[in-house]
Structure 1
Amino acid sequence: MTPFIIAIILSAALLHAVWNAIVKTAADRTTTLGLVAFGHVIPASVMIAVLPLPSAESFVFILLSTAVHFGYYYMLGRAYQHGDLSVVYPIARGIVPALVGLWAMIFAGEVLPLQAWAGIAVIVLGIQLSSWKALRSGVGRAALGFAAGTGFCISVYSLVDGIGVRLSGNTLSYWAWGAFLHIFIAGFVALRKRRTLAALRPRTWVLGIAGGLVSMTAYGLVLYAKNFAPLGAVSALRETSVIFAALIGFAVLKEGYWMRRLGAAVLMAAGVSLIGTAV
């Protein structure tokens, strides 16, 4: 990969960690996730009005990605109800490179070299370190399960969008329509939380929608990179976000056990580096 593409993916990783921190610090995470989804819809509405349509065959992937995102938002919200950012985030993101590498090999014919799989093994070791207390004592088992479910959803939509954007003929159009269809996610949350929406403080609205703008920007950068690099490699480099999440977790959110969590995040980032330099 060129330094430019690597820089784009690393920028997306930082932005992704930021919007996850916004969700984690929210008092009502379900409502905030709905606002994040709505934050995608606002700019996307303008974009789809001025951009050409993506190819017809790519719309199947856009719809499938939207469906998987429903599961992703649900799993992510539940994970943050049960665990700290610097535990949930490394688990959810850390398992993604292995799964995306596997899905890409099966469905897209992209085979990762041995060095990349060695990096995946290092990531798995980092996951064990970051969650050793939950695995040993049973405390935090719900957080672990929902975090793993979040990672699975991420891996599926990463593959779906990786294939879909390559078929679209226009990355911006694919990005815009994928973001616009978050309107169904935002609408679903609005129906469930309709009694509390009117009472939300302006700060909650601003943070939620800002989180959506950050999230949309981060994923647009990743979609662009998927046009020029193997899906497994893009996904792996994106997971350097675990470092940013760990830093945010102990420096901003004051979450405990920071030495172990930061060590686990660094270990996982080392695995990500092995993968990123193998292609």
Structure 2
Amino acid sequence: MTDWLISIEGTETGHNVALMLALMAAFLHALFGALQKGRYDPWTSRVVIDAGLLVISAPIALFLVPWPPLEIWWILAGMVVIHFVYKVLQGMTYQRGAYTVVYPVVRGTGPLFTVFTAGIIFGETFTGTQWFGVALLLAGLFGLSAYNLAKVTVARDTLVPALGLAVATGLMVAVYTTWDAYGIRAVENPFTFLAWFFFLTAFDFPLIALARGKWRRPDAGMIRLGVLGAFIAFGSFGSVMLATRLDSVGEAAILRETSTVFAALIGWLWLKEAVGPRRIALMSLIALGAVVVEFGG
């Protein structure tokens, strides 16, 4: 598998595989959100999922893949710090603002910042048509947030700071996407980076909970969330990072944000939530923007 992935980097096959991986990441990211919906507060969910990731990734990182070479440990150290900041900002955002309002803002600002950072670091460029696609996708995402903002009736007094935190979280999405893309390209075996990524970034919240005396015996729901959340996180983050190794970082970031469309479909089909014509129109705009970015290059 490793040799095949390396052989298709920068090829048309690699581009097509990266497309499928980015869309898979989008779907799994939406499923990840649905899994957490309404069960526990953001901090508890983070601790439980990180604990699941730690248990599953430890044997893979320590015994099944080659260890990272010494020259990339500075990348791994930076990765741990960046993802910790992202997780803290994400938890603060979701704690203060309605999920349907702040989530599209996070997912909208993230790819926009990523396109710029990928241009600076990797020299990637978008055509005029692709920038038009970016504009369509962002219009759909921010329009969806504005529509939900008009409808929300709870926690309105904390929505302004929540929206500010959502933009900051989106910036960190761009930082970690670019940093992780640099890291997975710097190591010969991409699965080495992935295994150590999940292993090293899963320590922080469980250790903090333990140090603060907040660790408690998990119930059946927590165990289920930890196991399922860990496997879905493996698929979501792993897929998008492999996509950034095989092809454009900016395009992978844009395509991943179709997760909002998948989230709405899951909410409609699985959670029996009402969607409505306006949300359908805005989500169609998001999907159209992703299609224009993909085929406008």
Is TM-score (shorter-chain normalized) higher than 0.5?
Answer: yes
1:28 aligns with 2:47: no
Structure 1 unaligned blocks of 5 or more:
none
Aligned equivalent of 1:43, options 30, 43, 56: 56
Structure 2 unaligned blocks of 5 or more:
1-11
1:19 aligns with 2:38: no
CA distance in 2, matches of 1:256, 1:116: 32
CA distance in 1, matches of 2:212, 2:287: 37
1:69-218 matches, within 5 Å, as 69-132=83-146, 134=149, 139=156, 140-191=159-210, 194-195=213-214, 197-198=216-217, 200-218=218-236
Deviation at 1:50, TM superposition (A): 2.1
Contact 1:94–1:127 (CA under 8 A) maintained in structure 2: yes
CA distance in 2, matches of 1:158, 1:219: 10
Q: Could you tell me which residue of structure 2 aligns to residue 7 of structure 1?
A: 20
**Count of residues in correspondence between the two structures:** 278
CA distance in 1, matches of 2:99, 2:288: 20
Matched AA of 1:266: S
Alignment TM-score, normalising by the size of structure 1: 0.88
Instruction: State the structure with more CA Rg.
Output: 2
Contact 1:85–1:245 (CA under 8 A) maintained in structure 2: no
Matched AA of 1:197: R
Matched AA of 2:213: R
> CA 1:167–1:203 in structure 2 vs 1: closer, same or farther (change >3 Å)?
same
Matched AA of 1:209: V
Deviating beyond 6 angstroms after TM superposition, the runs of 4 or more aligned structure 1 residues are 135-138
CA distance in 1, matches of 2:58, 2:96: 34
CA distance in 2, matches of 1:193, 1:261: 42
Deviation at 1:166, TM superposition (A): 0.5
CA distance in 1, matches of 2:95, 2:195: 30
> CA 1:251–1:89 in structure 2 vs 1: closer, same or farther (change >3 Å)?
farther
1:226-265 matches, within 5 Å, as 226-253=244-271, 258-265=276-283
Question: Which deviates the most, 105-114 or 1-10?
Answer: 1-10
Deviation at 1:21, TM superposition (A): 2.0
Report percent identity of matched pairs.
Answer: 29
Contact 2:101–2:146 (CA under 8 A) maintained in structure 1: no
CA distance in 2, matches of 1:221, 1:233: 13
CA RMSD of superposed structures (Å): 2.5
> CA 1:67–1:153 in structure 2 vs 1: closer, same or farther (change >3 Å)?
same
| Post-superposition CA distance 1:187-215 (Å, at most 9, x none) | 344236634522x4221222133212211
SS at match of 2:202: helix
CA distance in 1, matches of 2:215, 2:183: 36
